């Protein structure tokens, strides 16, 4: 999960970048699901939640050139906090 702090005036634009990134991620091996959501009580906070076959698939995906290019306009808004969680532990 990655959260993004954005100016509410550009939230729709940033959400568009998130949708574009999800489209790229969906085509990569190991991708299971993903969604972009907005906080109900904070109009400047978005979250991207993706599920992968494992940490390795996630890390390989983030290393892809297309992910870096399409994700760049989104990553600049990322909140600096842990973003990878493993279920079952």
CA–CA distance, 34 with 36 (Å, rounded to integer)? 7
Q: Where are the domains of the chain?
A: 2-75
What is the structure's pLDDT at 89? 58
Q: Which two tokens stand for residue 72?
A: 């760049």
**Mean pLDDT of the region 8-19:** 95
- Say what the pLDDT of residue 87 is: 78
Query: What percent of the chain has pLDDT above 70?
Result: 99
Where residue 7 falls among pLDDT bands split at 50, 70, 90? very high
pLDDT digits (tens, 9 = 90+) for 44-82: 999 999 999 999 999 999 999 999 999 999 999 999 988
Domain 2-75 falls under CATH 1.10.3470.10: no
| 18, 1 contact by CB (below 8 A) | no
Cβ pair 20, 70 in contact under 8 A: yes
**pLDDT score of 88:** 72
């Amino acid at each position: 999960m990655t959260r993004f702090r954005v100016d509410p005036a550009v939230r729709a634009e940033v959400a568009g970048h998130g949708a574009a990134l999800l489209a790229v991620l969906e085509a990569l091996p190991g991708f299971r699901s993903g969604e972009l959501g907005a906080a109900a009580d904070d109009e400047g906070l978005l979250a991207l939640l993706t599920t992968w076959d494992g940490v390795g698939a996630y890390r390989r995906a983030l290393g892809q050139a297309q992910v870096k290019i399409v994700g760049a306009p989104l990553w600049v808004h990322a909140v600096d906090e842990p973003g990878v969680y493993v279920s079952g532990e």
